[in-house]
Amino acid sequence: MNGNCFLRSFSPILISGLLLFSWGCVHRIHVTPTPPAVSPASIEKSLQVIVPFLAVEGADHRQGITLLDWPAQDLRSAAIHYIQSRQSFTSVGDKPADLTLTIKAWLTMRSSDNYRYRLRLESALGPTEQLPTKSYLVEKEAVGSSVRWITASDQTPIAEAAQAALDDLLTQIEADRLLYRNSPR
């Protein structure tokens, strides 16, 4: 068996091993925030939630740090579930509705003694196909461990930051419920 034949026969195994190794180094994040209580005053409108992007800074761009995968779709699903559970609107989903909530999100990670996870949500709410009625800004931070060996190292603080950010965002929106009462549609 010459060298070329040996490499050809083992290259699929080598590539498979490298793929498995690289997939094992990715922390896939899934959050399921739950509201602390039901909304005291629901907004009598249907709501569409849009998350056009979720930017991650820090986790994938620094040497020796495990990759982090938290898709915008997961944040959108988490926000929809959270708002449904909180009963802030008559209905909520990802289809066109009376109002549209657009959430642009940034997650930044920094390390000092422990990793710090900062989640920033820039949100706008208003009637569908019109300019937003109001914008909201929420920034929440959670502290993680000093190492990132397993997915839970990232999962737990990101879930905490998402929970706190959605709590704050919906509290602000509910305080403005009179703005949305007479919105067209």
pLDDT at position 9 is: 55
Reported pTM: 0.80
Residue 184 reports pLDDT greater than 60: no
Closest to 48 (Cα-Cα) out of 125, 122, 131: 125
Q: For residue 91, what are the contacts with CB-CB under 8 A and spacing of at least 6?
A: 46, 47, 97
- pLDDT tens, residue by residue, 42-76: 899 999 999 999 998 875 544 455 577 889 999 99
95-115 average pLDDT score: 91
What is the pLDDT at residue 21?
40
Distance CA 109, CA 117 (A): 5
Tokens of 67: 């990759």
What is the Cα–Cα distance from 118 to 115, expressed in whole angstroms? 10
* Buried-exposed string 88-102: b where 16+ CB fall within 10 A, e elsewhere: bbeebeeeebbbbbb
Give me the pLDDT at residue 16, please: 40
- Specify whether the CB–CB gap between 104 and 124 falls below 8 A: no
Look over the chain and give the mean of its residue pLDDT values, rounded to a whole number.
82
What was the pLDDT predicted at 80?
98
Partnered with residue 56 across adjacent β-strands are 107
Do the strands 67-69 and 115-127 form a parallel or antiparallel pair, or are they unpaired? unpaired
d(CA 4, CA 160): 52
Q: Spell out the domains of the chain, with CATH numbers in brackets.
A: 27-181 (3.40.50.10610)
Q: How far apart are CA 28 and CA 152, in angstroms?
A: 10
**35, 29, 32: which is closest to 54 by C-alpha?**
29
Task: State the average pLDDT over residues 158-169.
Answer: 96
Residue 169, pLDDT score:
97
Structural contact between residues 154 and 59, judged by C-beta atoms closer than 8 angstroms = yes
Mean pLDDT of 171-182: 90
Distance (Å, rounded) from C-alpha 25 to C-alpha 144?
Answer: 18
Q: Give residue 13's pLDDT.
A: 47
